[in-house]
Amino acid sequence: MKIIVDEAKCCGAGQCVLIAPDVFDQNEDDGIVILLEAKPAADRHAAVREAAAVCPAAAIQVDEDA
């Protein structure tokens, strides 16, 4: 799994950080997503999928084949 974030789409809602704090963080200035781990461990995959699904701006893409 590989995660791709589109910072331009991010609205700073922070749902990803609440769901997967080991993978996502937010910029303190504007709340825009910061990707901490582009290729997370298998035990984090479910949380990453959920974070991508609930992102209100659809700023998180998950490539399952990478």
DSSP codes joined into one string, 21-56: TTTEEE-TTT--EEES-SS--GGGHHHHHHHHHH-T
pLDDT tens digit sequence for 1-14: 999 999 999 999 99
Q: Give me the pLDDT at residue 66, please.
A: 86
DSSP run (H or E) holding 15: helix 15-19
Q: Structure pTM? A: 0.94
Cβ atoms 62, 34 nearer than 8 A? no
CA distance 66 to 8: 23
pLDDT tens digit sequence for 12-64: 999 999 999 999 999 999 999 999 999 999 999 999 999 999 999 999 999 99
Contacts of 12 by beta carbon, 8 Å cutoff, 6+ apart: 26, 30, 31, 32, 33
Q: Give me the pLDDT at residue 2, please.
A: 98
